[in-house]
Amino acid sequence: MGQPDLPQGQIRVDNVVPARAPWSARLEPGEILRLIDLDGAQAVDFLCYNADDPAERYHAPNTIKVPKNIFIGQGSVLRSNLARPMMTVIADTCGRHDTIFGCCSFEVDRVRYGRTNAESCQHNFEREMARHGIGPEHVVPNVNFFMNVPVAADGATGIAESQSKAGDYVDLRAEMPVLAVLSNCPEELNPATGANGPTPIRAIVWREG
C-alpha cells in the first residue's frame, strides 16, 4: 500500500474510503482535495457541485472544450455547466485520467457483460448525493481519476490497464464552494480496478500554509 507524504498544510479531513464505497465533503475556496490511490490501478469516479447551488455542477463538455483536450492532468480545470472554474488540478503524479466514459451502473453492465457487480458507481453517487438533498437526476457524466481510456485515431476506445501506481495522487483546489462526491469504483468486470479488484483510497482535505 502506497503512503505518500502528507500535505504540508492544515489538514481538515483525512479519510480512508473503503473499496466500493462512496464519499463526499464540502470544500471552501482555496481548500485542496488530495485523492490517493493507495494500492494502484483503482479508478475513482468523481463529481463536484456548487455547494450553495447544486444546479451548477461539473460539466464534461465544457471541461473538454476550453482546453481542447479530453484528458485530465496537472493544470486542468474542472468547469461547470456555466463554464465557471470549479476545481483545478494543481498536482498529479499519475498523468492520465478520463473524462468520457462516465460511471458504471447495473443497467449498462447488464448490456456490456450480461451480469452486474454487487455495487455500481451510479448507485453510490445516488445514495451519497441523497445525504445532501440532491436527487438522482443530478448524476451527470463524471471524471474518472486514475482510469486509462485511450482513444484511437478511428475513434475506437475502451478501458485499458491503468497507469496509476500505489501511492499516486491528484490534488484538486476548490475555486468556489464545492461539494465533492466520489465513488470508489466497484467495477470488477473490466480493468477499471486492476487485476486485484477494488481497493481502498484515501481522501484528504487541506489548505496550504
Q: Please give the Cα distance from 37 to 1 (Å, whole number).
A: 9
- Sign of the Cα torsion 34, 151, 198, 45 reads positive
Question: Do 208 and 118 touch, CB atoms closer than 8 A?
Answer: no
The pLDDT tens digits for 31-88 are 999 999 999 999 999 999 999 999 999 999 999 999 999 999 999 999 999 999 999 9
Question: What integer pLDDT is reported at residue 4 of this predicted model?
Answer: 61
User: Which amino acid would we find at residue 144?
Assistant: N
Q: What pTM did the predictor assign?
A: 0.96
Place of cell 463538455: 61
Task: Break the chain into its structural domains and give their ranges.
Answer: 9-151+158-208
Percentage of the chain exceeding pLDDT 70: 98
Where does the pLDDT of residue 5 fall: very low under 50, low under 70, confident under 90, or very high at 90 and above?
Answer: low
**110 to 118, 139, 148, 189, 204: CA distances (angstroms):** 12, 19, 22, 11, 34
